[in-house]
């Protein structure tokens, strides 16, 4: 009977789910942390790190969503931001300065696609797996909202904002160790202007996962910034 119970524990909770023990999670976290710090562009390693270390932050984020009307709506409907769900032609036709237009501009300028986000594998809860998926899929929208490019400097600034907002250890690590590869001049701008602004904005802003971005494409970026409580970029 015990064997049956044990087997029950290891079943797949959603497509792609890989059940892991706490020890396996710790090993995955350590390995992915080393790789992610060595090469911050290894998105797969950054993703694994986020999933294996997010056990405290993810339930907290889910509760924030559950207790907010728009966040609750997102958890109920589970929208996805992918090329298959985006009407790119419509977004391109929106006025300059609107969230949709600036988001598409960010994708085009930086040659990135929303489809490169890895689906979760190691989160042992189907609802929390959606929360981390959503966090990943709105990451490019954070760049758009914060007015940050997809280069190393912009990535570090967004990570500081996300670290304060989400409490995900992966963001904290990225924020702390991301700058090691930047030049002295960039480090100076980062330390004196950009990071303090990102931290202040992250602390001041309401939870960015509680915005149903797909229903806000027409909204000007500036008005959404104000609504959330993100200070204008320096």
Confidence of residue 70 (pLDDT cuts 50, 70, 90): very high
Sort 84 into a burial class: Cβ within 10 Å, 0-12 / 13-18 / 19+: exposed
Over residues 202-223, the mean pLDDT reads 98
Burial 112-124 (b: 16+ CB within 10 A, else e): eebeebbebbbbb
Question: What distances in angstroms separate CA 121 from CA 15, 55, 128, 173, 188, one per listed residue?
Answer: 8, 13, 11, 20, 38
| Cβ atoms of residues 210 and 173 within 8 Å | no
Confidence of residue 27 (pLDDT cuts 50, 70, 90): confident
Over residues 14-37, the mean pLDDT reads 86
- Mean pLDDT for the chain overall: 90
pLDDT digits (tens, 9 = 90+) for 133-151: 999 999 999 999 999 998 8
pLDDT digits (tens, 9 = 90+) for 41-61: 677 877 888 888 888 899 999
pTM: 0.88
pLDDT value at position 129?
95
CA 50, 52, 55, 56 torsion-angle sign: negative
The DSSP code for 146 is: H
């Amino acid at each position: 009977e015990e064997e049956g119970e044990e087997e029950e524990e290891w079943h797949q909770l959603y497509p792609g789910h890989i059940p892991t023990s706490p020890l396996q999670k710790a090993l995955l976290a350590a390995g992915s942390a080393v790789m992610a710090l060595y090469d911050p562009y290894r998105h797969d390693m950054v993703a694994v790190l986020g999933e294996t270390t997010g056990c405290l932050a993810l339930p907290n984020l889910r509760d924030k969503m559950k207790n907010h009307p728009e966040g609750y709506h997102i958890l109920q409907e589970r929208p996805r931001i992918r090329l298959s769900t985006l009407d790119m032609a419509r977004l391109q036709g929106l006025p300059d300065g609107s969230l949709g237009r600036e988001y598409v501009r960010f994708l085009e300028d930086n040659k990135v696609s929303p489809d490169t986000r890895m689906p979760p594998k190691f989160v042992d809860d189907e609802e929390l797996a959606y929360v981390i998926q959503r966090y990943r899929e709105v990451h490019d929208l954070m760049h758009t909202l914060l007015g940050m490019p997809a280069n190393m400097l912009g990535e570090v600034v967004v990570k500081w904002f996300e670290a304060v907002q989400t409490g995900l250890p992966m963001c904290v690590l990225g924020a702390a160790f991301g700058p090691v590869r930047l030049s002295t001049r960039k480090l100076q701008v980062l330390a004196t202007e950009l990071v303090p602004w990102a931290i202040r904005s992250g602390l001041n802003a309401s939870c960015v996962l509680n915005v149903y971005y797909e229903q806000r494409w027409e909204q000007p970026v500036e008005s959404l910034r104000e609504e959330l409580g993100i200070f204008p970029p320096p």
